[in-house]
Amino acid sequence: MTLEGALETTADGSRDAVLFVFTVTNTGDEPVELAFTDGCKAEFVLVDDGSEVWRFSDGRMFAQVLSSDELDPGEATTYEAEWSDPDAGEYTAIATLQARETDCEATTTVTVVD
């Protein structure tokens, strides 16, 4: 299974919210089935100097529903999250695919200005 992740943010310089878009692409030659155990298909975490500042799943409840997505070779899917009312600073954003038996992660830098 060959998955490649890319993480983009739409931080527009304001402190209203930061949108994260995590794109997972099947870079292999065979279809890949992504199996999920609940409604949280991707986790998003912000870190500042090694300390966790924000986690998408904190304080949220997700339906315990088995589901799956299939990605054909070259096909991609996206997962999104929003950080509302962020604190100003520069952070490392990490997105991790929550599918069983997969390893796909992406990081980027996020700057929120005052």
Q: Quote the CATH superfamily of domain 3-112.
A: Intracellular proteinase inhibitor BsuPI (2.60.40.2360)
pLDDT at residue 61, rounded to an integer:
80
Please tell me whether the overall predicted TM-score, pTM, comes out greater than 0.85 for this model: yes
Domain boundaries, the chain: 3-112
What is the per-residue pLDDT across 66-103, written as a single tens digit (0 to 9) for each? 888 899 999 999 999 998 888 888 999 999 999 998 88
Highest-scoring range by mean pLDDT, 21-25, 39-43, 80-84, 88-92: 21-25
Write out the H or E segment, with its range, that includes residue 90: strand 89-97
Mean pLDDT of all residues in 24-39: 93
What three-state secondary structure class fits 42? strand
Q: Give the closest residue to 109 by CA, choosing from 95, 5, 24.
A: 95
